[in-house]
Amino acid sequence: MAGGHSNDVTSVALSPDAQTLASASEDTTVKRWRVSDGALLRTLTGHSDGVSSVAFSPGGQTLASESYDNTINLWRVSDGVLIETYDEETGPKVLTLAYSPNGSKLA
Range of the domain at 74: 9-87
Split into its structural domains, the chain has a count of: 1
Within-domain flag for 66: yes
Within-domain flag for 105: no
Beta bridge partners of 13: 22
Contact 53, 97 (CB under 8 A): yes
In angstroms, the CA 24 to CA 53 distance is 6
pLDDT at res. 92:
55
Is-above-0.85 flag for pTM?
yes
With a cut of 70, which residues of the chain have pLDDT below it?
Answer: 1-2, 89-94
In angstroms, the CA 12 to CA 52 distance is 10
pLDDT at res. 39:
94
CATH number at residue 63: 2.40.10.480
Q: Which amino acid is at 70?
A: N
Within-domain flag for 50: yes
Within-domain flag for 95: no
